[in-house]
């Protein structure tokens, strides 16, 4: 059996839990004027940055760090808003692709300034108080934890893919820019 957590370990974990709980809601509040949530923004961003603005749902789930059920619910919500369309992959009829509509692209572009302002205000500006490069420290801390949680590198962020780097770009199937089944 493992030793009990020390006081400082408990404080660190409590702070991490609090951050993980309140940050999504805080980001959502900042994006409310755009009519989307922070996760919806992340999904629109992934599609906007992918070749031809579409991606297989399984790949999109990995790119946005989501489970397939959650991704499916959010894609359905975005479909109702006219921002995304879902189509069967012409190469693999078992798979579905999400496509960014022109309305979705416009929503993404108009939301980028709100998202940038929110992330700076809620996260990045506070890192300036640290004695070294706080943004780099945060990136390294998160990556170290992710590598333990996701040792196979299933998530794009664990593999170190930079934002805007589409995992679909290297797909050998030219007619279906989607990950292999």
Contact yes or no for 155/46 (Cβ under 8 A): no
List, in order, residues 6 or more apart from 59 with CB less than 8 Å away. Answer: 167, 168, 178, 179
**Could you tell me the domains of the chain?**
36-181 (1.10.10.10)
Total-model pTM = 0.81
φ, ψ of residue 84 in degrees (nearest 5): -140, 150
Helices (H), the chain: 7-31, 38-48, 57-63, 68-80, 102-122, 134-149
The total number of residues shown for the chain amounts to: 181
* pLDDT, tens digit, 9 for 90 and up, residues 118-168: 999 999 999 988 888 999 999 899 889 989 998 888 877 887 765 543 333
- The residue among 50, 112, 51, 54 whose CA lies nearest residue 78 is 54
* pLDDT, tens digit, 9 for 90 and up, residues 60-75: 998 998 999 999 999 9
């Amino acid at each position: 059996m493992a030793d009990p957590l020390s006081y400082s370990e408990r404080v660190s974990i409590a702070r991490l839990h609090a951050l993980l709980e309140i940050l999504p809601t805080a980001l959502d509040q900042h994006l409310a004027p755009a009519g989307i949530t922070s996760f919806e923004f992340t999904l629109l961003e992934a599609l906007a940055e992918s070749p031809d603005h579409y991606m297989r749902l399984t790949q999109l789930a990995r790119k946005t760090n989501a489970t397939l059920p959650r991704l499916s619910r959010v894609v359905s919500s975005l479909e109702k808003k006219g921002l995304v369309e879902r189509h069967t992959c012409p190469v693999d009829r078992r798979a579905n692709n999400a496509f960014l509509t022109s309305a979705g692209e416009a929503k993404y572009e108009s939301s980028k300034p709100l998202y940038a302002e929110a992330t700076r205000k809620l996260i990045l500006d506070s890192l300036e108080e640290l004695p070294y490069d706080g943004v780099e420290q945060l990136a390294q801390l998160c990556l170290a934890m992710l590598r333990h949680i996701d040792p196979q590198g299933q998530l794009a962020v664990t593999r170190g893919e930079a934002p805007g780097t589409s995992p679909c770009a290297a797909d050998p199937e030219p007619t279906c820019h989607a990950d292999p089944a």
